[in-house]
Every structure is written in structure tokens, then in C-alpha cells.
Chains A and B, each alone.
Chain A
Amino acid sequence: VTLSRRELLKRASAFVVVARLRWLEPAFAASPNTVRRTLAALVEFVVGDRTLVAATTPRLIRTLDRFLPGPLPLSATAAGILDATAAQVKPGATFADLNPAQKAKVFEALEALPVESAGSIRFLVGNLPDLAAFLAYSTPLGWRRARYAGIAQGRSELKGYWQGRKAAEP
């Protein structure tokens, strides 16, 4: 996918209406394999742990596509935006081809888009890293990484009351 910055901006700004208007843009719709590869690269970039990628990437794709269903999946839109911007950072490259510094430049470029005309892109792209992180650390593997005690109905953690105060003064 290679789009000019102007084209990308125009098309991606409308990503939220693409699905509903059936304005399917073939050049903007990446194949499922490309989407998976691009978003797996995003997850790895964010969480820095290859073992979390396999568990997280399908969740990320499912979350995006369920967030805004339509003929053009939101995951493909997200991947298309990342790949098209990656090609500006390094001609001919996709997001997955980039090193971490170049991947960061993709986000820097997207976050520099004007809110007035590209607010929806900034919403989508702005939420990709934290969504990936949330999903990664919501998995049992993520819990182990975080040394989380796991699910329980309660904890033995009660330490009493500050200065013994159990009620505010009137």
C-alpha cells in the first residue's frame, strides 16, 4: 500500500464512515495476512515481548473489528494507516519492516496530523498502543510477566484503619 500523505489523510479521515457508506477502497484494504503481520509488529513494538504477541494479536484484531464492524474491517484500516505511513518513513517498507526508532517515527508522524482534519485518525492510532498493552497484560501469560496473583474472590490484605478512624467527623 503506497499512498501519498494527502491521499492517506483524506481516506483515513473518513475511516469511520467508510464501512457505513460502503466506500470500499481496495488499495486501502490489506489482506488478512498483511493485517496480522502489521498488527503483530505493533504488539511486539509496544509490549517488547515476542511470547505475548501470539496471544495478543488475534485479540487486537477481534477488538478492532468488533468495535466498528463493516465491509472494511477496522483492523485493516489501522494496518493500512500504519503501513502507508511506514512507506513514508522508509520508502517501500511496511510497518513490520521497520526498526523500533522507525516505528516510533510512524506514530510521531500520525500524531502530528492536524486534529481539525485528522481527528479520527488520531483517535484510532492514539488508542492502538494502549489497547495492545491492555490486551497483552490481560492474558494469563501477561499476568505471569507481571507476577500477578491471578483471579480470586478476595485477598488477605486488610491492614486496619488510618489512625484507627472508621468514620469522618461530623
Chain B
Amino acid sequence: VFLQQLINGLTLGGIYALIALGYTLIFGVIKLINFAQGEMSMVGAFSALAVLALLAPAAGPFPLLAAFICSLALAGLVGIAVERIAFRPVRAAPPLAALITSLGVSIFLQNVVMVGVGSDNKSFASVFASGYVTLGGARVTYLQGAILLLAVGLMVSLDVLINRTRFGRSVKATAENRDLAMLMGINISRATVLTFVVAAGLGAAAGVMFGLYYGVAKYDMGFLPGIKGFTAAILGGMGNIRGAMFGGVALGLMEAMAAGYISADYKDVFAFGILILVLVFRPQGFLGEKLSEE
């Protein structure tokens, strides 16, 4: 039973971690929180749903792959738009302004989807091979396995992207000191936009996984995971990439264990109770908060 709860928690944690990474990346670079991050997963899930519906007759892994890539691309575009519309115009304004514009974007996106596709649950057809392997008495469905692998893969590639590439260096430099980075000839606008694209893509990937895992998509599906991802980012230290990964997995595990060993009634109470404790006793998060110092 413990192993099963562990696997449940890890799957959930992987999804939370991807959303948390989006928050943390954007916070690292512009020191602002993008509350529309949860909606990226909603946009991702719905575009995957649309692509899957279009390619319905085709069999094999192709539709799934196409759906995944399309949803990442679409979310990336939405990410660019969010940066242009909600953040760039208020860059000189107090931070509260950007917080409010991003909340506005979040509500706007939810309502566009609600009006456009309706407010009920939309189901994903079971495109993924059903079946499972048994690991020491615990069941891991193929889908859970795929989610875990993909989440780890995305996190590793992000780590490489940030620490080993030119783009990563420009992001870190921008996070460290905007003005100095600009003086050093780094195109900080481009670094910021690209950060939004990467963050949106991670959110969309989480959304597609979420949609496939639970089999449903709904216009407000991004809200709760968004808040959980935000919690996870704070848990690990806002602006810290490895912290976000750690925070996401830790939150997923805590939820699974709380619901599994204490009571399902208190699942969210635990998740957010921990958030309050962390904020009170270790406001910089478990792993500190600097993106630039990694």
C-alpha cells in the first residue's frame, strides 16, 4: 500500500513540479508572479484534445505526439502574448500592477474557453494503451509510467537548457541583474520572452499529462493545479529551478500520504498548511531562492 501511495504521489508530484517550474522561471527572471501559469496547462490540455479529435482515426503514437507538440506550440504562443499584453506594458509600474494583469489574463483565458467550448467536462478518448506493470504489489499503469518518464525528461532537459546553453546563460544573467546584463550586451527582452515560452510549454506539458491521466478537461482545470504549482514553487524557493522540482514532488507525495494515511477530507488542508508553515519559518523556501546562483 505504501508503495502504491508513493507512486500515486510521484505521478501527481511530477505534474505539480512542471507547473512550479513555470512560476519559478518567470519569477527568477522578472521577479514577478504570473498567475496565468495554471491556465497554460488548461490551454495545453484543450489543444491536445482538439488535435486528438482531428486525428481520431489515426492509430499508434503519432496522434499523441502531434497533440503534445501542438499544445506546446500553442501554449508557447499564448506565453508570448501574455508577456506582451500583461507584463511588458506594466514593467515600469509597481509589481502589484503585473500581478493584477496576470490574474486578469487568467480569468480571460478561462472565460474564452468556457464560452468557446462550453463549461462541462470534456473527455479524452483513451488514446493511451491501458495496462499496467506490478512493482512489489503496487500497480503502475503505462500512463503513469509515461508521465513520470516524461516529467523527469523535461526537468533534465530544462536543467541542461539553463546550465549548459547560451540561452540559459542569458536567462541567468538577466535574473542576476537586469541592467548589468543589458550593459553586457544581452538582449534581455528576448531572454524574458523566451522564458515565458519555456514556462508556458512546461505548463502545457503538465496540462496534457493531467488531461490524459484523469481523462477530462474543463475550462477551470488550471486553477487548482496552478495554485498547487505555486505552492510547490514556494516550498522549494521561488526562483530556484531545482527547488521547484523538489517542491512539486514533495507536495505530490505529501498530498498522497495525507489522503492515504490520515483522511481524504484533509488533503488540501495539508498541502496549504505546509505552505503556511514554510512561509512562516522558512520564507525563502527549502532550497533558497536564487536562479542565478545555481
Q: Do A and B come from one complex?
A: no
Which B residues contact A (CB, under 8 angstroms)?
A: none
